Amino acid sequence: MDVRDILIESVRDALADLGVEPPPSTVQMERPANPEYGDWSTNVALASAKAAGRNPRELGMALADALNAAPPPHVTAVEVAGPGFVNFRLSDSWLHDVLIDVVAAGTDSWARHDVGAGETVMVEFVSANPTGPLHAGHGRGACFGDSVARLYERCGHEVTREFYINDRGTQMQLYSGSLAARAAGTDVPEGGYRGRYIEDWAAEMPTDADPFEWGYQRALASQRAVLEALDIHFDSWFSERSMIASGAIDVTMADLRDADAVYEADGAVWLRSSDHGDDKDRVLVKSDGEFTYLMPDVAYHRDKFSRADRLVNVWGADHHGYVARMHAAMRALGHEASELEVAITQMVSLQRGGEEVRLSKRTGEMVELAEVVDEVGADAVRFTYLLFSVDSQQTFDLDLVASQVNENPVFYVQYAHARIHSIVRRAAEAGLVREPLDRVDLSHLCHDRELAVLRALHELPDTVLRACRERAPHLVTTWVRDLASSFHGFYHDCRVLGDDVDEGMTQARLWFVEAARVGLVVALDLLGVGAPDEMWRDDVPAGETEA
């Protein structure tokens, strides 16, 4: 049982014994930033004083007295501080229990949850038009979406990753028209695509190929390749065109009519989206008989709901205005808005040498995601995209990330893992075998550096849960940087192996190092970043030290 739950239980029991009415609905138990305030702290006396009609400080004292009279496991002292915080001091043994939990669970189970059991989630992300390569701006949504999917999986959901392909419509026409024009040496059509890749691909295109189909496959192949390079794999690629053939669009329209959610005006068919929270009604079928982009999109989301309990969409900030209308459409079809969650990623601005690079497929100025991956590597790309909250705009300076390889935070974290592996390897070379955990005396682990690592490990399960709930993978990035920092501190100050290290200490630390490894591996996997066993700088060959 987690120490936090133990403490919360004991607080509840003590409050009941003290006759506190009404009992608090929740008891907050957190680890204070300042060590002066103990290892764990609760504000329950402050929070429930008013309802109980008692003075917070006095209530806190009574609570502390009761708890001190019969201390819960690990607790050495309970004190009251400030306006009525009740602070617990624990022996290091609570952290040794954390180590035991971590290594018992291992990389498969530590920080795994079952809150999502029985719920299927479909994460739809990237969904770029098949009219060109993915650019660096798509990278953020790609890495974010995949990591969110990993978080849902870790929390027990059954997850499908889906890529929606807009394989019909105006943009496709312009794209294939541009390819054909380039191939023929004529001017690209008005509003067409002018990127360099158009020239390259037009040159590649066989003369007898259909520019539409060939161009479609070419773009798709390009996008798929770079996603694979980033270790992002979709379970399904959903074609917009397929919904024409399957009649899904017609069925959707019929459903909307049955729900009295559409009407005709000015020769067009309108969705009554303003009945469901949108600013205004939206056109589904134009007066010329063509669909707007919205109609197939609604049909698509309707289809997704037939395949999953919960939908998560990852959209760029330039699409946030469509959230309300899509929610409205889904409500009209009988779904709750809460079943469709739209995560908005703010824009990525790219710089090269401090100069802004504009991203636009139409003007042709772009930086391909594939170039970025080539320059800095997949791990650095993923880690960099997941460094910050997607609620903030991000500036990605290609030169900086490429040139600062040695200062990149991803290497800092991966290096911690490499150091662990190094210790394990040396131990094996020395013929050292870890004894069964129950025969190892963990009380050796009392160094501040060791305790800091164990405290961090205790937080991972909560961090994962919160990162999933808030769809915020950067919380995991922040956590793993913190763990790496604690571990490097340990590595610097504490030795695992050596003639001058007590045997019992070596045994305890071998298990300790295993626990740290579990934390690193779990977190890096959630980010989709590798955990290498060795890392050698280019200028320092393996086995040598720097001059």
- Residue 68 or residue 393: which is nearer to RNA going by CB? 393
CB of 120 to RNA, least distance (A): 24
**How far apart are the C-alpha atoms of 168 and 243, rounded to whole Å?**
11
Q: Can you say whether the dihedral through the CA atoms of 240, 244, 248, 250 is positive or negative? A: positive
In terms of phi and psi (left: phi > 0; alpha: psi -120 to 50; beta: otherwise), the region of 533 is: alpha
CB of 255 to RNA, least distance (A): 21
CB of 233 to RNA, least distance (A): 25
**How far apart are the C-alpha atoms of 28 and 229, rounded to whole Å?**
44
CB of 327 to RNA, least distance (A): 12
CB of 126 to RNA, least distance (A): 14
- Residue 251 or residue 497: which is nearer to RNA going by CB? 497
CB of 218 to RNA, least distance (A): 18
**How far apart are the C-alpha atoms of 421 and 414, rounded to whole Å?**
11
Longest dimension (CA), the chain: 90
CB atoms within 10 A of CB 235: 12
CB of 174 to RNA, least distance (A): 9
- Residue 166 or residue 178: which is nearer to RNA going by CB? 166
Residue 294 makes CB contacts below 8 A (sequence gap 6+) with 271, 282, 283, 284, 322, 325, 329
- Residue 319 or residue 455: which is nearer to RNA going by CB? 319
CA atoms within 13 A on the CB side of 92: 14
- Bridge-based pairing of strands 310-316 and 120-124 is parallel
CB of 340 to RNA, least distance (A): 16
CB of 351 to RNA, least distance (A): 10
Residue with tokens 């993923």: 382
**How far apart are the C-alpha atoms of 452 and 466, rounded to whole Å?**
21
Smallest Cα–Cα separation from 85: which of 153, 38, 145, 150?
Answer: 38
Structure tokens at 479: 């956590």
Structure tokens at 115: 């809150």
- Residue 235 or residue 407: which is nearer to RNA going by CB? 407
- Residue 267 or residue 334: which is nearer to RNA going by CB? 267
**How far apart are the C-alpha atoms of 472 and 463, rounded to whole Å?**
10
**How far apart are the C-alpha atoms of 314 and 343, rounded to whole Å?**
5
CB of 504 to RNA, least distance (A): 15
- Residue 104 or residue 540: which is nearer to RNA going by CB? 540
**How far apart are the C-alpha atoms of 92 and 372, rounded to whole Å?**
46
Phi, psi of 341 (to 5 degrees): -105, 130
Residue with tokens 């708890």: 67
- Residue 152 or residue 308: which is nearer to RNA going by CB? 152
Collapse the DSSP code of 468 into the 3-class scheme (helix H, G, I; strand E, B; otherwise coil) and give the result: helix
C-alpha distances out from residue 480 to 364, 415, 513, 530, Å: 38, 12, 15, 13
Residue 213 makes CB contacts below 8 A (sequence gap 6+) with none
Integer-rounded Cα radius of gyration of the chain: 29
**How far apart are the C-alpha atoms of 294 and 18, rounded to whole Å?**
61
DSSP conformation class of 231: T
- Residue 197 or residue 315: which is nearer to RNA going by CB? 315
**How far apart are the C-alpha atoms of 35 and 32, rounded to whole Å?**
7
CB of 97 to RNA, least distance (A): 22
CB atoms within 10 A of CB 314: 25
CB of 406 to RNA, least distance (A): 5
One-letter amino acid of 125: F
- Residue 41 or residue 252: which is nearer to RNA going by CB? 41
- Residue 287 or residue 363: which is nearer to RNA going by CB? 287
CB of 135 to RNA, least distance (A): 15
Residue 350 · residue 396 · CB < 8 Å: yes
- Residue 188 or residue 308: which is nearer to RNA going by CB? 188
- Residue 308 or residue 506: which is nearer to RNA going by CB? 506
